[in-house]
Amino acid sequence: MTAGRNIVLFAILLLSLTFIVRRNCFRLNKKYGFRLVFIIYIYIRFSISLFGCCLRTNFLSHFGVYLLEVFSFFVVLSVGSGGGQPLPLPGPSNPSNSSSEDSFALQVLLESWPVTHNSGFESSLRNRINTLENENSPFLLSKERGENWAEVKTTLHNCPSQREYNRLLEFENRDLRIRELRHSCYSKFLRLFTDHPALAENADSSPQEGLLYFFDDKRHELDREGGTPLVKDQRELRFLDQLSHDLKKNGKNSVYINILFER
């Protein structure tokens, strides 16, 4: 009885710890870094393994008591004489019921917890997308208002795990940052062409078409350097930061004006 109570208390403690960690995983990762979250994760996995061993040991101990009681029954039966009836034995504890309850507790413990959404971060993404839509940015996937955020929201809310949610949230933030920087540079180029029409008078295409081709071609050029999608995105972010700074500093004398029209 004492051992069973201790196992239940341990299960409650482990269940509470797992719930707290899963609910605050994103905050812990942001504040203390991935290493601490990984150590806590390993500790919980080890505790679950230890809990399973305790369950197995408890079951085997109950099973031994059950065999002993069956053996005692046959001993009493063999000792009884003539038509005498053996003394009734006290009802044995049912190990199968205990095992079923413990297995159910373990199953509940190991169930995947609901994903904790970062509502503040999601709201920030939505507002940033709305800003690009209000400025009619050509760098959004959809031209219809509301569809861009609806697609991102659906993807985030269908994540199967907290880890996948955090990864996707980081990707969406990085992808949106690239679109924002592209749009910012695009707008600066157009202002320069409006203020200085001579800059684009010999262009083979409109400034808008030339700029869209310029950004896509530059991304392809950067991707050819290799690396993971994260590395490629970071490489483009550095380029766009450099481009934005150059346009702001040099204006119509920016070296990228010549590159854009291959002068």
Task: Give pLDDT, residue 152.
Answer: 95
C-beta neighbour count of 57 within 10 angstroms: 12
DSSP one-letter code for 74: H
- Distance, in Å, from the CA atom of 91 to the CA atom of 58, rounded to the nearest integer, reads 19
pLDDT at 75 over 50: no
Q: What is the mean pLDDT of the chain?
A: 79
Residue 8: closest CA among 138, 122, 84, 98: 98
Q: What is the pTM of this model?
A: 0.58
pLDDT at 81 over 90: no
Q: How large is the average pLDDT for residues 173-178?
A: 97
Range with the poorest average pLDDT among 51-60, 93-102, 147-156, 200-209 = 93-102
Q: pLDDT digit string (tens) for 114-158?
A: 899 999 999 999 999 999 999 999 999 887 889 999 999 999 999
Q: pLDDT digit string (tens) for 242-255?
A: 999 999 999 989 98
The two three-digit tokens of residue 151, written as one number:
């697609």
- Distance, in Å, from the CA atom of 114 to the CA atom of 246, rounded to the nearest integer, reads 46
Distance of CA 188 to the CA centre of its chain: 36
Which sequence spans correspond to the domains of the chain? Answer: 2-80+90-110, 119-261
Task: Give pLDDT, residue 248.
Answer: 93
Buried b (16+ CB within 10 A) or exposed e, 151-182: ebbeebeebeebeebbeebeebeeebebbbbb
With bands split at pLDDT 50, 70 and 90, how would you rate the model's confidence at 240? very high
Highest mean pLDDT among 93-102, 105-114, 154-163, 251-260 belongs to 154-163
Diameter over CA atoms, the chain: 123
pLDDT at 69 over 80: no
Task: Give pLDDT, residue 135.
Answer: 94
Task: Give pLDDT, residue 27.
Answer: 72
Task: Give pLDDT, residue 243.
Answer: 96
Q: Which residue has the higher pLDDT, 187 or 85?
A: 187
